[in-house]
Amino acid sequence: MNILVLNCGSSSLKYRLISMPDELELAAGEAQRIGPKTAEPARIVHKRDKRESIHVVPMSSHAGAFDEIMKLLAKDAALIPGAVGHRVVHGGALFSRPAVITRQVIEDLESIQGLAPLHNPPATNLIKACQARYPRLPQVAVFDTAFHSTIPEHARTYALPKLLRDDLGIRKYGFHGTSHQYVVEEAARRLGRRLDSFNAVSCHLGSGGASLCAVVNGESADNTMGYCPLQGLVMSTRCGDLDPAVTLRLMIEAGGSAEAVEAMLNKSSGVLGLSGMSGDIRDVF
C-alpha cells in the first residue's frame, strides 16, 4: 500500500509517498511560502527517483498547495495513494492518540481550531480537500500534542483559578510533538543509548514555528510552547513569549477586538515584526 503523509505547517506543506510495509519512499517534496506573498515566489520542491525539480506556482492556501502536489503525483500512475496520514498540530483534550478521519472527527477538529489558529484551520481544510478528491481513501490524523501528554502536572498547570482551568481547558499542551519524538528516538539510537534513560533538549527549528523540548528518560517533561503554539521562542510571524499586560494594552488599542490582536501576534510579529520586511529569515540575512 502507498501511504501519502502530509505535514501541514503554518506556511508550508511537506509530503512523502511511502510504499508500505517496506518503507520505500516513492516521492517527496515541500510546498513552500504558502499564503501571503514573500520576497520569493511560492514553489514546490518535488523529488522523484533521486531527481529534484522546482515548480513555481501561486498557492494562497494549503488546500491549493495540495491540489498542485496531486497534479505532480498524477503524472505517474505508480504514485497512487492507498491511504493518507495527516500531522495535526492541536488535539486539545479531545485527541490523545491518532484518529481515523470521520465526519465526527472533522466536527471535533473544527470545534478546537481556535487553539491553534495558524495550523488547525488549514489542516482541517486540507483534510476536507483530501476527502473531496479521494472520498473512499482512508485518512488518519496524528496529533502533535500527544507526545507531550507526559508533561507533569506541575509543569503544565498555569497559575489561574481552577474553575477557569477546568472549564476552558487552559493548560500547557506543548507542540511539535511528532518532530520532538522522532528526534529523541533517533538521537538515542545513534548514540547507542537506552531510550528510557535518555535525557536531552530537543530543538525544532522550522521555517514557520520553533520550540524546545526538555526530555527526561525519553519522555517529554516540558516544552517552550504552551496552551497554543504562540508561546515560547520568537518565530517567523509569531511573537513568542510576551508579557500578558502587552496583550491587554493591544486589546485596548484594537478597540477590544480579540481577532485583530490574535492576527497581529500570530501573523504580523516575530521575525516579520522585528525586520519589517519578511517573516522568512532567509530574506533578512
Q: What is the pLDDT of residues 226-268, one digit of tens each?
A: 998 899 999 999 999 999 999 999 999 999 999 999 999 999 9
Q: 116-120, 136-140, 170-174, 274-278 — which is least confidently predicted?
A: 116-120
Per-residue pLDDT tens digits for 211-229: 999 999 999 999 999 998 8
Beta-carbon contacts of residue 108 (< 8 Å; ≥ 6 apart): 94, 95
Asked if 254 contacts 263 with a C-beta cutoff of 8 angstroms, the reply is no
Burial (CB count within 10 angstroms: exposed 0-12, middle 13-18, buried 19+), residue 67: middle
Of 143, 145, 169, 175, the C-alpha closest to 157 is 169
Is 196 a known active-site residue? no
Beta-carbon contacts of residue 15 (< 8 Å; ≥ 6 apart): 4, 5, 6, 7, 27, 28, 29, 30, 31, 69
- CA–CA separation, 48 and 78 (whole Å): 11
Active-site entry in 22, 49, 108, 144 = 144
Beta-bridged to residue 55, according to DSSP, are 44
Mean predicted lDDT score pLDDT of the chain: 91
Q: What is the pTM of this model?
A: 0.75
Per-residue pLDDT tens digits for 183-205: 999 999 999 999 999 999 999 99
Residue identified by cell 527526561 is 216
Q: Set out the domains of the chain in order of their start, with CATH numbers.
A: 2-143 (3.30.420.40), 235-285 (no CATH)
